Chains A and B, each alone.
Chain A
Amino acid sequence: MHTGNLDLTLDQITKIEGHATLSLKLRDGKVEELKFSIAEFKRFYTQAVRGKPILAVPQMVARICGTCSNAHLLCSIKTIEASQGIVPSRQTVLLRRLLNNGLIIRDHGLHLYIFSLPDVYQKDSIFDFEDTNPEQHELVHDAFAVKESGNQLAIWSGGRSVHAPSPTIGGFSTFPDESKKKDLIEKLQQARPRVLKLIKIFKDCSFNQIENFSFSGLQSPDYSLLDGDIIAADGGSVVPHDYANYLEHTVIPYSQASGYKFKGNTFMVGALARLNLSRQFLHPKTKIDAADALSVFPSKNIFHNNLAQAIEILHAIDESVDILNGLTILPEKPVTHPVKAGVGVGVIEAPRGTLYHRYEVDEKGIVQKARIIVPTGQNQIAIEQSLLHFVESHSDMEKEQLSFEFEKIVRAFDPCMSCASHFLKLKMT
């Protein structure tokens, strides 16, 4: 056990998306300094899109983040359509939901199976799971089967699971192959029992850290992650257009990303926030089969973000099977209008939480100004506070164990550093 003084630096937090670092100084058992820093190098996308035609922007901003690329793509298209007064067809709305569900399954699957499950089984990596242990052997196969079902759903609906080429402003440029729909439904249905097993694992998991954060997220009566108003735990609602007005921007000098508070409070966005606020709107089959796990919500335990993600995978499967069963695809042309000047705001729920894009477009269809606020930026202050609260109550913990616990806490938020670091609000400090 250390003597009350400790210097701990994690220069690469592992099993997360992107690069983050953490440093701690303990003196006489007291925290002198704790810094959680996003270490990705800025790529200045909000500057890069200035002067670009709106047609080019969705594919450009998709490159902000590999794992969240289709969320940025859909949010960007929504933002441009808002600026141009374009209303997409019902078919387009459904195909976009399928693409987003593919992302939810694939991305939550990556986080839960590859990043978080090793912590539950006290392994370094899912590849250390033992072949001779039937449960662990099966979980490795579960990981790949569940991820692959989401991967294939995104490929089918958008043309690719990363930087999908088919979605465009007003609709889709190419359409899914109807003849492959049956196989896709089968793949999703085969993944379902595996996801129920995953839900049980995270329901039974003993990881626990209670935090009094506020929660917020987009809410719609069918748990669509692409539409709705923003609801906060205090009961208030905010129309997406005004969302940024309620966010208090905070410069974190040692981090390459901006932090935010919502209505002045430290808050959390993402699956836990969504389940806390909107679980009543989940798919009916999900509500029945995940009833036991759903009974823990609302929850202030940050590790229940993992459980919430597992439940959202089930919802995405159940909703996708319904949509696919009822969908007959027509090769319709994208909705177009003559280009006009306008300001568009688009807000969706990306896998990790609320994603906000705002563009100012001139009369030639050129973006003059862009602002993008990503979930991990919104969660950054909550992540640092959670780490601080943990070390304050575990200051006598061995360094190695403390490192492990710190990484576990960061992973619970499923942060995405690629997203978080590639924007800036120009505010000198």
Chain B
Amino acid sequence: MRIPSPAHIMNKLRVGWFSFTCCEDSTILFTELLNTHWDAWKDKLEFVNARVLKTNRELKDLDISFVEGAISSEEHVKKLQDIRANSKVLVAIGACAVTAMPSGWRNTFDEKTKQEIQYLVDRFSHLPRVEPLSKFVKVDDVVPGCPMDENTFLAVLNKYIQSSHSGLDPESK
């Protein structure tokens, strides 16, 4: 795992929050966590790319990207790879990002049902199967659960907040 650059040490962590195919339940839980954690986070985190929170966003020099949802199309793959290329740490958030389920129900359909939906799969250029993030990019941490487990999320986030202040790779501790 890469170490945060010196310029970012003691500065706010540049955070991105992204979603692909999912119900965004973890995004909602995250917005509810803000209710009670914003005061503690506002001097430590800068949300530079979060569609749910703001219009003006940049995909550059992100310290951590939290990515919710499964991957359904080639366009998703490219976007995910772009996020990965611009993020020091990438964390898979929730069951769909980690396992592709339950968004990947169609992976489990019998042949008859697959044929029934094929015209839509074709029309919108779906991938043959719905896939987890790790199929396409390196994932540094996972927060499983449907929705994500809040305590695991807080532990992962705190780990990176602390490591950014010490300048150490969290895994070297």
Residues of A within 8 A of B (CB): 12, 14-15, 17-19, 40-45, 47-48, 50, 60, 63-67, 69, 106, 110, 114, 118, 124-128, 140, 144-145, 147-148, 151, 161-163, 253, 256, 404, 407, 418, 424, 426, 428
For the complex of A and B, 4 pairs with smallest distance between CB atoms: A66-B25, A125-B54, A48-B105, A148-B35
Please, what's the 1-or-0 string for B13-56, where 1 marks a CB less than 8 Å from any CB in chain A? 00000011111111111011011101000100001000111111
**B117 on the interface (CB 8 Å rule)?**
yes
Contact assessment for A69 and B23 in the assembled complex, using a CB-CB cutoff below 8 Å: yes
B168 within 8 A of A: no
Contact among B21, B31, B35, B47 for A41, CB-based, below 8 A = B21
Interface size of B in residues (CB-CB distance below 8 Å): 45
User: B42 → chain A, closest Cβ, in Å?
Assistant: 8
Q: Is the CB of A114 within 8 A of B113?
A: no
Q: CB-CB < 8 A to B28: which residues of A? A: 66-67, 110, 161-162
Given contacts A144-B38, A407-B55, contact A161 B32 (CB under 8 A): yes
Contacts of B111 in A (CB 8 A): none
Q: Is B102 touching A63 in the complex (CB atoms < 8 A)?
A: yes
A12 surroundings in chain B (CB, below 8 A): 51
Complex contact B106–A147 (CB within 8 A)? no
CB distance from B43 to the nearest CB of A (A): 11
- Chain A binding surface, main DSSP class: loop
Tell me the smallest distance from the CB of A385 to a CB of chain B, in Å. Answer: 23
Other-chain contact of B106, A47, A60, A126, A162 (Cβ < 8 Å): A47
Given A43-B21, A60-B102, answer yes or no on A14-B55 (Cβ-Cβ < 8 Å): yes
Q: Looking at the assembled complex, report how far the CB atom of B104 sits from the nearest CB atom of chain A, in whole angstroms.
A: 8
Given A47-B117, A163-B146, A41:B24 Cβ within 8 A: no
The interface residues of chain B lying within 8 Å CB-to-CB of A41 are: 20-21, 72-73, 76, 124, 126
B1 on the A face (CB < 8 A): no
Q: How far is the CA of A256 from the CA of B103 in the complex (A)?
A: 15
Residues of A within 8 A of B51 (CB): 12, 14-15
* Interface pair A65/B35, CB less than 8 Å apart: no
Measured in the bound complex, the distance between the Cα atoms of B56 and A424 in whole Å is 33
With A43-B105, A161-B32 as contacts: A69 and B53 at CB distance below 8 Å: no
Say whether B7 faces chain A, with CB atoms less than 8 Å apart. Answer: no
Which residues of chain B are near A151, meaning CB under 8 Å? 32, 35
The residues of B with any CB-CB pair to A shorter than 8 Å are 19-29, 31-32, 34-36, 38, 42, 47, 51-57, 72-73, 76, 102-103, 105-106, 108-109, 113, 116-117, 119-120, 123-124, 126, 146-147
Q: Which residue of B lies closest to A106 (CB)?
A: B32
A424 to B54, CA, bound (A): 30
Pick the residue among A125, A145, A163 that contacts B147 (CB under 8 A).
A163
User: Are B32 and A47 in contact, with the CB atoms below 8 A?
Assistant: no
Q: Is the CB of B55 within 8 A of A124?
A: yes
Chain A nearest CB from B106 CB (Å) reads 5
- Are B54 and A124 within 8 A (Cβ)? yes
**Contacts A47-B109, A256-B124, A407-B55; A64 near B32 (Cβ below 8 A):** no
- B130 to A: closest C-beta gap in Å: 8
How far is it, in angstroms, between the C-alpha of A124 and the C-alpha of B31 when the chains are bound? 17
Taking each of A15, A43, A253, which has the highest tally of chain B beta carbons within 10 Å of its own beta carbon?
A: A43
Is the Cβ of B116 less than 8 Å from the Cβ of A47? Answer: yes
Nearest-neighbor residue (CB-CB) of A47 within chain B: B113
Q: How far is the CA of A142 from the CA of B155 in the complex (A)?
A: 27
Enumerate chain B residues within 8 angstroms of A110, measured Cβ to Cβ.
28, 31
Nearest-neighbour CB distance to chain A for B4, whole angstroms, equals: 21
State in angstroms the CA–CA spacing of A45 and B34 once bound together: 30
B residues in contact with A404, CB < 8 Å: 55
22 cross-chain CB contacts under 8 A: A14-B52, A15-B55, A17-B52, A41-B21, A41-B76, A42-B124, A43-B103, A44-B106, A47-B116, A48-B105, A65-B23, A66-B25, A66-B28, A67-B24, A124-B56, A127-B42, A145-B35, A147-B32, A151-B32, A163-B25, A418-B22, A428-B119
Taking CB atoms, residues of chain B closer than 8 Å to A253 are 123
The verdict on A127 contacting B47 (CB below 8 Å), with A40-B21, A43-B103, A424-B120 known, is yes
Given contacts A44-B105, A106-B32, A147-B32, contact A17 B146 (CB under 8 A): no
* Chain B residues near A17 (CB-CB < 8 A): 24, 52
- Kindly identify which residue among B21, B26, B38, B76 contacts A66, using a CB–CB cutoff of 8 Å: B26
The reply to whether A144 and B53 form a contact with Cβ atoms under 8 Å apart is: no
Name the one of A15, A63, A147, A161 contacting B54, with C-beta atoms under 8 angstroms. A15
Cα distance A43–B106 when bound, in Å?
7
- Check B105 against A45 for contact (C-beta < 8 Å): yes
Let me know if B124 and A47 touch, CB within 8 A.
no
Q: Which residues of B contact A43 (CB under 8 A)?
A: 21, 102-103, 105-106
Inter-subunit contact A426/B116 (CB<8 Å): yes
